[in-house]
Structure 1
């Protein structure tokens, strides 16, 4: 019988540039998740400082990324819980003193070791003046205590190719820290549908889960509905979203039935087709 995993969705109203406060909030929620028996806890994108790249303090705080990653490693080991601590902005010095900022997600195992990481590839348009993409680096899956996992971040959701590459590498679960708000829709779009971004998220998460026979753990920031979407959830093929949150702050522990992945694959045979030597798109996605 395929296992059922207990995973914790953690969303809250991230305070701009309040890095110590946000970290303390995250740690409190992680402890709560562990107390509820969660095997994995996932935080939102930009969970330490929020998205304020035009403030000089934002770049200064990015220099502390290694310190906070180490703190999460120690906490994971203490509690015996796996963590994906949202994303952490990392500052890197390149040739001729050039500076790059990467938006990075990590998978930390329950023993505190880092099993893998991913730098955001598909940068949302307003982010492009500030962040560097992982470019032509491949999407690769990671073996973890909860199964074979792929990491994606926020706007990667809009690119089915990212999912396909992870699935071709054996990913069973895709974890997506996100900072997605109603204001990501243009004024024209909101004139036609004020809830267009919520529709985008719900429709696409469900579609990606079905079309890739994978589970998705999606974790967003939360807060007042005029500025936040929340909607953190586990989405599975066959049944769609489970344990879906609204815009409330807090922890939701979800039961993730991985047996549904086998049922979906037996029905749709997506992975079987991907593995065929005569698959139409083998030049792009085969491992």
Structure 2
């Protein structure tokens, strides 16, 4: 029989620049999850600082990334729980270019406090490109974890089926997606047509990705005060069912759910997505080359 894992998704409001307060709140949820027998807890993107890169206090906070990564490692070891601490923005000095680089990084920390997975955001949302450095053409990696083969994406990566295909091809069964996605990310034209357009996007694409890849998705988004555009909708989603749990748009909170990987085996038996990807004569390439002629 396929294993069943108890996982928790946390939807948090990251108070701008309140890094220690935000950490302490996250730590409280993690301890609560551990007390309930949870094996993995996932936090949202930018949960320590919020995303205000032009604020003069933002860059100095990003220099503290190692401090908070170590805090999460210690917490994982203390609570004997795996943690994906959303994303942590890291400030690095590039000596060759004599400039700073900001990286938006997700880590998988196991129950012993060891880092066993790391992913740097690849597909940057438009306003992020002025500030963050993408992982570019680095290959999406899959990690062996206590929950099996896991891949990680971040926020806007969700919009790219190719990212999922790379992970699924390598055997990922669970895709973890820390996110900071708001309703205000929609264009003015889109908002006029539907003020909740981004919610439609998230619910539709998350469910579609689980079906088309026979995988589970743990999606942890930021929530926040009403009227500020926070989308929320953090969820754990699987084929056949859709969301096993789904939080609202604004409220902070945590949801604990049993994730039965047998659902994924049943879905693969039905749709045979992974079997097709493994065929020698399969007709799609999932890595593109700049030298290829494009239509």
Which range, TM-score by smaller chain?
A: over 0.9
Q: Which deviates further from its counterpart, 81-90 or 94-103?
A: 94-103
Asked if structure 2 preserves the Cα contact closer than 8 Å seen for 1:32 and 1:251, the reply is: no
Number of the residue aligned with 2:158: 157
SS in 1 for 2:5: strand
Which TM-score applies when normalising by structure 1?
A: 0.97
Number of the residue aligned with 1:21: 21
Deviations along 1:22-70, whole A, 9 cap, x unmatched? 0111101110111111100100000000000001211110000001000
1:96 deviates by: 3.7
- Structure 2, gaps ≥5 residues long: 289-295
Asked if structure 1 preserves the Cα contact closer than 8 Å seen for 2:214 and 2:239, the reply is: yes
C-alpha root-mean-square deviation of aligned residues, in Å? 1.0
Do structure 1's residue 145 and structure 2's residue 142 form an aligned pair? no
Asked if structure 2 preserves the Cα contact closer than 8 Å seen for 1:274 and 1:282, the reply is: no
SS in 1 for 2:102: strand
Number of the residue aligned with 1:284: 287
Asked if structure 1 preserves the Cα contact closer than 8 Å seen for 2:166 and 2:286, the reply is: no
1:206 deviates by: 0.5
Number of the residue aligned with 1:121: 122
SS in 1 for 2:217: strand
Number of the residue aligned with 1:183: 184
SS in 2 for 1:252: strand
Asked if structure 2 preserves the Cα contact closer than 8 Å seen for 1:222 and 1:249, the reply is: yes
Distance, in Å, in 2 between the alignment partners of 1:241 and 1:27 is 25
Which TM-score applies when normalising by structure 2?
A: 0.95
Please show how residues 124-273 of structure 1 align to structure 2 within 5 Å.
124-226=125-227, 227-246=229-248, 247-273=250-276
Deviations along 1:151-187, whole A, 9 cap, x unmatched? 0000000000000000011100000000001100111
